[in-house]
Structure 1
Amino acid sequence: MRVDAVRAQRVLVGDSFVPATLALRGERIASIESFDHDVDGVVLQVPETAYVVPGVVDTHVHINEPGRTEWEGFVSATEAAALGGATTLVDMPLNSVPPTTTLAGLKAKQEAAAGELMVDVGFWGGAVPGNVADLEPLWDAGVFGFKCFLSPSGVEEFPPLDPAQFLEALTEVARFDGLMIVHAEDAAVLEAAPAPSSRAYADFLLSRPDESERAAIRQVLDGARETGARVHVLHLSSARALDLIADARAEGLRVTVETCPHYLCFAAETIPDAAPQFKCCPPIRDRGNREELWSALRAGVIDTIVSDHSPATAEEKNRGDGDLQQAWGGVSGLQVGFSAVAQEARRRGIPLAQVSRWMSRHTADLVGLGHKGRIEVGADADLAVYDTGVTFRIEATRLAHRNPISAYDGLTYGGRVTRSVVRGNAIDVERPDHDWGRQLRRPGS
């Protein structure tokens, strides 16, 4: 449903929630008016218990189509996004077949996404052994940067870069001032860690030690120092690496960092054994580590919060019958991440406006989408209505994710996203419109 205005008692304008009417023109915010301002046309009236925030810009999502659409797919992923307040996604280059490591791979993604999107979607490229010559053509074709692994990715079509290959790729990305985003776990440290077949979460945690992140992040920062490249550390789990990042920032290196809702909401002490829905790499660590991540967000050492939505089929998640070394690693949280983080932040006295900055404005800025992730005149009319008067009991079987597996299953939050607006279109989840979402290119490409 196209709307001409959105009216609410709490609209995030700048750093504050104010009564306002957002007048829309076409797909953008035309003006920010007083609450009782008269507007011709269709007005979305927001309940008094709700907040209007910019739509979430989730820059770390595995949609897995084409090739592994049974794991997720553009239809289910973008519907889950809209239900969870995410109006823009950037899709990761692996777990699809082919991966987005060549122009042909990018074209396959674009063709698979055509007519299937409820929200806007852009694409990351990938850096793998032997594709240095493909990086600049992918950049010119509109990808937002390049993902690489420093340890095995879990899928054979997306192998990791060894130290020499990483430096070669980083040098090339620096040449055209691209962005390298890195799964930062060190292969040698992981190889040396004990990894017995086990159903115990404590054993799995020992197999992915903090030092694997510290060593890999040290390599990333050394590469940025040598090449001048922009680098981004993906899904930071270990607070033991925060000092390295803070020192790199002080030195002037161009490094940004993200973490994820599951690292901010869960703690190793409470994760049951043989529960693969909680398995992810790097892993969910202990309660003290979790609180240090929150402190680092408040201090600005961590820049963004993203879902790292990494779904799989029940067969893959349950491989090994509870053996956590065999189960597929990844947390499905696209639909619930914003509501989960908002409640955990509220428990810590962190205002919703700050959560929105971490999950909307800062993520949009990371990928150069200055017209998204904010409520400003001229910005895309991408909005989420978050209502603290509505209880959100999460049932995995009722989420829009293709596979009903979620670490959040059974939890209840005091607040949920009840409506999303994508470029002026108020999403009606009872009558899904998968023609509205747009494929995005990097600005300037």
Structure 2
Amino acid sequence: MDLVFRARRMITSAGITEGTVGVRDGRIVAVEPLNSALDADRVIELGANQVLLPGLVDTHVHVNDPGRTEWEGFKTATRAAAAGGITTMLDMPLNSLPPTTDVDALEVKRKTAEGRLHIDVGFWGGAVPGNLQQLRPMHEAGVFGFKSFLLHSGVDEFGHLSFPQFEAALGVMNRFNGLMIVHAEDGHSITKPTGRKYADFLASRPDEAENTAIAKVIELTRKTGARAHILHLASASALPMIAEAKDEGLDLTVETCPHYLTFVAEEIQDGATQFKCCPPIRDAANREALWQGLRDGVIDFIVSDHSPSTVELKRLDTGDFGDAWGGIAGLQVGLPAVWTQARRRGFTMFDVAEWMAHRPAELAGMQHKGQIAAGYDADFCVFAPDEAFVVQAEQLYHRNPVTAYHGMPLAGRVVSTWLRGIKVTGEEMHGDLLGREDA
């Protein structure tokens, strides 16, 4: 073996157990009892207060590189991800210039990322008006699926689909079993917010906006037989119709995000634009219903939706929610944020690993990520669940020192992150570019 981990607590498909993990040539080759005779050039003995998790898989990250690198970049984003226990992430097709809406733009993105990755990175393509003929070529080039919006995306160069255009794109994707991932809000239910009051911003994007769009996504998924994935669910009142669609057998999956599971509207101060995101953070009862959606299996998993910007674009100077960029920067702290809330509600580290490693990898068709099992990549997060810290924005590795989590005490600390058997230190970059495994 090249590397062996011995852990009194680790997460496998069997649950929380003790054991020994053997690694050779970047892959897990053995998972055996703790007293196994497995030996290696390097043996890592985890402390009694540490848990060996599979490396997390975050399928929803906005890197914004190239084109808006003052917002974020591959070096900074992947460094922050690694510090948060993430070993694999998928980059969204918008907020970079050019957006990833054809094969040429995908190649630009890959060239930009190459050699600048602390972890493994793959890419989503975009489904926008006028690019139906680009969907299959991008699929064949290895994108993991296609991002679409049902209202203005926030940037003019990434157009949104009307419902007929969305249906047409689903029909095209169904011919090659492509996956549509969708920002499901209906613009007809949304008004333009102004001013510093969070309550006014929240009222401008009501539950109805999400619920109407999600109902339409379900209808068109049923009609076309295509695969669809609802992004960043914030409206818990949509859960019953999602549950019914799943019970019906539709190929529909759903994610939510740490910020919707952590923050509540009642506690967001007026002018605190670091909390602005779309859909918005809703009230405490909604948060509890989202946790119940996870418990019931209606929500499939949790990803960051890391959507950073410069400090200036968050308009902290004026606190105007109408002018501020909408997005939460939380790539590095998602695991402790989720664990802090999850353990209060009786969930275990096994649940967290399912939500943040196994199931995102499963959605993306990654057959060697997200689990501690023989044949999988030797991607690990060593986590100390009982240690605590207070988030300091200036100490995080993403590019701009602004985050909604600043000043928040969290439980759980990432001790180390390992990519294919190599410890990620921030000094050398060993991340690979990923394509869909069946491409």
Report the TM range for the smaller structure's normalisation.
Answer: over 0.9
User: Does structure 1 conserve the Cα–Cα contact (< 8 Å) formed by 2:271 and 2:316?
Assistant: no
1:384 to 372, 381, 403: 381
- Aligned partner of residue 384 in structure 1, secondary structure: strand
Q: CA–CA distance in 1 between the matches of 2:400 and 2:3? A: 36
1:45 CA displacement? 2.1
Measure how far apart 1:85 and its partner are. 0.3
CA distance in 1, matches of 2:49, 2:110: 39
SS at match of 1:405: coil
Kept after mapping to 1: 8 A contact 2:274/2:316: no
- What is aligned with 1:349? 346
Aligned to 2:218: 221
Matches of 1:311 and 1:154 in 2, distance apart?
13
**TM-score, normalised relative to structure 2:** 0.98
Deviation at 1:14, TM superposition (A): 1.9
Matched, 1:315 2:315: no
Contact 1:394 1:408 in 2 (8 A): yes
Secondary structure of the structure 1 residue equivalent to 2:305: coil
Rounded to whole Å, the distance in 1 between the matches of 2:43 and 2:189 is: 56
The root-mean-square deviation of aligned C-alpha atoms, in Å, is 1.2
Inter-partner Cα distance in structure 1 for 2:2 and 2:185: 46
Unaligned runs of 5+ in 2: none
Q: How far apart, CA to CA, are the structure 1 residues paired with 2:403 and 2:2?
A: 33
Identify the match of residue 206 of structure 2 among 205, 209, 217: 209
TM-score by length of 1: 0.97
Instruction: Give how far 1:304 is off.
Output: 0.8
The structure 2 residue matched to 1:297, chosen from 294, 297, 316, is: 294
Matched, 1:441 2:435: yes
Could you tell me whether the CA contact under 8 Å between 2:2 and 2:40 is conserved in 1?
no
Unmatched 5+ residue regions in structure 1? Answer: none
SS at 2:339 equivalent: helix
Please state how far the C-alpha of 1:247 moved relative to its aligned partner.
1.1
| Aligned equivalent of 1:254 | 251
Q: Deviations over 1:141-199 (max 9, x none)?
A: 00000000000011011011111211111111111110000000001111xx4x34110
Shift of 1:378: 0.7
CA deviation digits over 1:55-107, x for unaligned, max 9?
11000000110001111100000000110000000000000000000111100
Q: Is the CA contact (8 Å cut-off) linking 2:2 and 2:24 kept in structure 1?
A: no
Deviates further, 12-21 or 93-102:
12-21
Partner Cα distance (1:416, 1:404) in 2: 20
Q: How does 1:72-91 map to 2 (within 5 A)?
A: 72-91=72-91
Offset from partner CA, 1:103-137 (integer Å, 9 cap, x none): 11100110000100010000000000000000000
Deviation at 1:19, TM superposition (A): 2.0
1:219 deviates by 1.2
Residues 1:402 and 2:399 aligned together: yes
Which residue of structure 1 lines up, in the alignment, with residue 62 of structure 2? 62
- The residue number in structure 1 matching 2:27 is 28
Contact 1:3 1:41 in 2 (8 A): yes
- The worse-fitting range, judged by mean Cα deviation, of 302-311 and 11-20 is 11-20
Cα distance in 2 for partners of 1:411, 1:152 equals 32
Q: Name the structure 2 match of 1:338.
A: 335
Q: Which residue of 2 aligns with 1:132?
A: 132
Q: Deviation of residue 319 (structure 1)?
A: 7.0
Is 1:107 the counterpart of 2:107? The answer is: yes
CA distance in structure 2 between the partners assigned to 1:86 and 1:305 by the alignment: 12
Q: What is the Cα deviation at residue 320 of structure 1?
A: 7.3
| Amino acid paired to 2:109 | K
| Other-structure match for 1:151 | 151
Q: How far apart, in 1, do the equivalents of 2:194 and 2:322 lie?
A: 6
Alpha-carbon distance in 2 for matches of 1:443, 1:170: 21
Q: Secondary structure at the match of 1:277?
A: helix
Identity of aligned residues (%): 52
1:320–1:326 CA contact under 8 A, matched in 2? no
Alignment length (residue pairs): 438
